Amino acid sequence: MIKEQFKLDSRLQNDCFVLSESEQFLILLLNNSLIPWFIFVPKTDKTELFQLDKKFQSEIFEKINHLSEFIMTEYKVDKLNVAAIGNIVSQMHIHVVGRYQTDPYWPGVVWGADKKKIYTQEEVKKIKIRLNSILVI
């Protein structure tokens, strides 16, 4: 793990808002208010989950479970998509995306979709406050 040298990939930085940060993790919000799309970023130089020691893997899965529960509860989504794809951004990150049967991408994938609606600063602030009042990373 490289905590002190950690630098968020510029593509994630440009496309997302930082909602929460700890010594080991970041939680980001993708700037598309059409669906609740969060990105969990472990602060590591490893690119694949299997490369991490079992303890850190366990911590990541515990935090993703909590984030998933937050999304299900707060957004009342029909389905969750959880994926660590990283084909374009190789920095380890896990997408946790709430899906609705009525969202503009359903039933297809959200990756690379063109339709987008950016968040207002007020919307991001409210999400950040709510997330941090419930979820501690």
Helix (H) or strand (E) holding 133: helix 121-134
| pLDDT value of position 111 | 85
| Domain 10-134, CATH among 3.30.428.10, 3.40.190.10, 3.40.50.1820, 3.90.1150.10 | 3.30.428.10
**Model pTM score:** 0.93
DSSP assignments along 83-102, one per residue: E---SS--S--EEEEEE-TT
Q: What is the DSSP letter of 26?
A: E
| pLDDT value of position 83 | 94
Phi, psi of 30 (to 5 degrees): -65, 135
Please classify residue 59 by burial: count the beta carbons closer than 10 Å to its beta carbon, then call 0-12 exposed, 13-18 middle and 19+ buried: middle
- Token readout for 93 is 């990150």
Place of tokens 């899906």: 99
Q: Which residues of the chain have pLDDT under 50?
A: 1-3
| pLDDT value of position 130 | 95
Domain edges within the chain: 10-134
CB atoms within 10 A of CB 83: 13
Name which of 58, 66, 35, 57 is nearest 131 in CA terms: 66
